[in-house]
Amino acid sequence: MRKKIVAGNWKMNTLPAEGVELAQGVVAKSAEVCDCVNFIVCPPFTHLAQVAEALKGSKVELGAQNCAAEAKGAYTGEVAASMIAALGCKYVILGHSERRQYYGETSETLNKKMEQAYANGLTPIYCVGENLDEREAGNHFAVCKAQIEEVVFNLTEEQFKNLVIAYEPVWAIGTGKTATAEQAQEIHAYIREVLAAKFGELAAECPILYGGSCKPSNAAEIFAKEDVDGGLIGGAALKAEDFIAIGKGFMA
């Protein structure tokens, strides 16, 4: 049985006090959802420590939104994987389309970040997904395949066992336009096939999350699909009630 995961990517939102309040709300409401659903929140670096404190003793886990490609040293402004691990993070989002697009992250950089994540006991949530032009040209399969082959195929089997993948079509992120449940299932099944070519039956154990305008009103339908194991949530993760309601999509 694959893990069911609902992860909140807060992006560059919330001040520390707001983040703590949001985390407390998520903790309080998480009791309404069966323990079979794993909730993760990924606040900005600046309040990871305070949010970790707010999550203590709850089933809600902590992740960061990025980490440096290097272990430590003269890299002004960067945050090392060891630092976020020391603050209590279990996960780190890597390869988000916003980082690929605005900060020029390439597969080469991401390979280094993945190594840093594993070296520090973190589980990467590795994001893949095509933009609108690529989807319209029918290249979405090839784009996702390349993003996986260039990074995930470099992992050992042991590392792969500790990986979460998020499929996030760029055209659905923050646009209100969600992929249909059928579109999500189609590409999730394809991604699993690509993973199986390298990792064999271990591919059946890898959680693949959907991300892109996922909200309480569409989560249940998307999560009902066989190869969709949860969601990576942006906007709707900023309200505890909506975030938890998305988790309830598994109970529908």
How would you classify residue 31: left for phi > 0, otherwise alpha for psi between -120 and 50, otherwise beta? alpha
Annotated active-site residue 168? The verdict is yes
Determine which residue in the list 110, 222, 232, 245 makes contact with ligand 13P, applying CB under 6 A: 232
Say how far apart CA 107 and CA 252 lie, in whole Å. Answer: 38
- How is residue 250 written in tokens? 């598994």
- Residue 213 as a binder of ligand 13P (CB under 6 A): the answer is yes
In the bound state with ligand 13P, the residue whose beta carbon lies nearer, of 12 and 74, is 12
Stretch that binds ligand 13P, among 79-87, 143-151, 190-198, 228-236 (CB under 6 A): 228-236
173 binds ligand 13P (CB under 6 A): yes
CB 160 within 8 A of CB 140: no
**Distance, first Cα to last Cα, the chain:** 18
Number of residues that bind ligand 13P (CB under 6 A): 14
Active-site residue flag, 158:
no
Q: CB within 8 A of 158, min separation 6: which ones?
A: none
Amino acid at 32: E
Query: Does 168 contact ligand 13P by CB under 6 A?
Result: yes
**CB-count exposure of residue 10 (10 Å: 0-12, 13-18, 19+):** buried
Distant-in-sequence, close-in-space partners of 108: CB < 8 Å, separation ≥ 6: none
Specify the stretch interacting with ligand 13P by CB under 6 A; choose among 27-35, 168-176, 191-199, 244-252.
168-176
Which of the residues 96, 98, 134, 140 is marked catalytic?
Answer: 96
- List, in sequence order, every residue forming a beta bridge with 167; answer none if it has no partner: 128, 210
Is 174 a residue that touches ligand 13P (CB under 6 A)?
yes
183 lines the binding site for ligand 13P (CB under 6 A): no
- Closest contact distance (angstroms) between CB of 186 and ligand 13P is 19
Distance, in Å, from the CA atom of 252 to the CA atom of 246, rounded to the nearest integer, reads 10
Residue 164 touches ligand 13P, criterion: CB under 6 A:
no
Q: Which spans in 139-239 are helix H? A: 140-149, 157-160, 181-199, 216-223
Among positions 26, 233, 240, 245, the unique one binding ligand 13P when judged by CB under 6 A: 233
Q: Is 167 helix (H, G, I), strand (E, B) or coil?
A: strand
Q: Which is nearer to ligand 13P, 56 or 102 (by Cβ)?
A: 102
Residue with tokens 């500790």: 162
Report the distance separating Cα 64 and Cα 9, nearest Å. Answer: 9
Taking the least distance from each CB to ligand 13P, the nearer of 104 and 176 is 176
Smallest separation (angstroms) from ligand 13P to the CB of 223: 14
Piece of the chain touching ligand 13P by CB under 6 A; list 80-88, 140-148, 182-190, 211-219: 211-219
Shortest approach of ligand 13P to residue 74 CB, angstroms? Answer: 30
Catalytic machinery residues: 96, 168
Which residues form the interface with ligand 13P (CB under 6 A)? Answer: 9, 96, 168, 173-174, 211-214, 232-236
